Amino acid sequence: MRPSVTLKLATSLDGRIAMASGESQWITGDAARAQGHRLRADHDAILVGVETILADDPSLTVRIDGVETEKQPLRVILDSRLRTPSLAEAAKLGSLILTGEDPRPIRRAQIERVDVGEDGRPTVEAVLAALGKRHVRSVLIEGGGQVAASFLKAGLVDQIEWFRSAILLGSEGRPCVGALELAHLSDAPRLERVAVVALGPDLWERYQRVR
C-alpha cells in the first residue's frame, strides 16, 4: 500500500510561493507557520525538490514552541543530478536523497538511485515505492512547484493543506504548482474543500481529492 500524500502550500492570495528573485520569507504569518510544523509532526516524511534546498536551505525539522520532539520525520530530497550541497542543513542533519545518478557521499544523507522519467527526474511511482519500503505511511510535500505538479499529474495527491496570505505578488512571482500540461478543462485535478480556518491574517484551506 502506497503512502498517503499531502501537498502543503504557503502562498500569496494569487498562488505565488516566492517573488521572482526567490525571496519568500515570510509570505505567511506566525500562526500559519506554527500549524505547518504541526502538520510536519503528523507525517512520517517531508519531501522537497532540490530547487527548494538550493533556494531556501530548509532544515525540514519539526519545531513547536514548548514541545520536545524526539522523533523527526524522514527528510526526503528529490535530486535528479545530485546537486544537494554537502553543507545543506537537510544533508547535515541526515536525509534520504532520491536521484537518477550513481550515488556518492553527501554528508549524512543516504543516497538511493531510482527510476527516472523522460525528463530525467525520479518518477512519482519510484519515489513512493522507495518510501513504502521504508515503512513510510504518510508524506508531506513542501516544495517546489515542479514536484507539486508531478504528483498532481499522477493523480496521487490525497489532500492539500493550503496556507494563503492576503498579499499579491503578481504574475512575475513563482507559482505554487508547475505546468500540468492539461489538454482539456475536464482533465484538471478535482478537489473538494473540507475546511477553511482563519489563522491570524492568513487562511488555512483544506482540500481532499475527489475520487
Phi, psi of 52 (to 5 degrees): -65, -40
Give the pLDDT band (50/70/90) at residue 173: confident
pLDDT at 197: 96
pLDDT per position as a tens digit, 80-93: 999 999 999 999 99
42 Cα distance to chain centroid:
14
- Distances, alpha carbon 114 to alpha carbons 9, 73, 195, 210, in Å: 26, 21, 36, 29
Report yes or no: 37 and 64 within 8 Å, Cβ to Cβ: yes
pLDDT per position as a tens digit, 70-83: 789 999 999 999 99
Give me the long-range contacts of 56-64 (CB less than 8 A, separation at least 24). Answer: 56/24, 56/25, 56/143, 57/88, 57/89, 57/90, 58/89, 58/90, 58/142, 59/89, 59/90, 59/93, 60/89, 60/90, 60/93, 60/95, 60/142, 61/93, 62/37, 63/37, 64/34, 64/37, 64/38
pLDDT at 69: 65
Does domain 4-203 sit in CATH 3.40.430.10?
Answer: yes
pLDDT per position as a tens digit, 184-201: 999 999 999 999 999 999
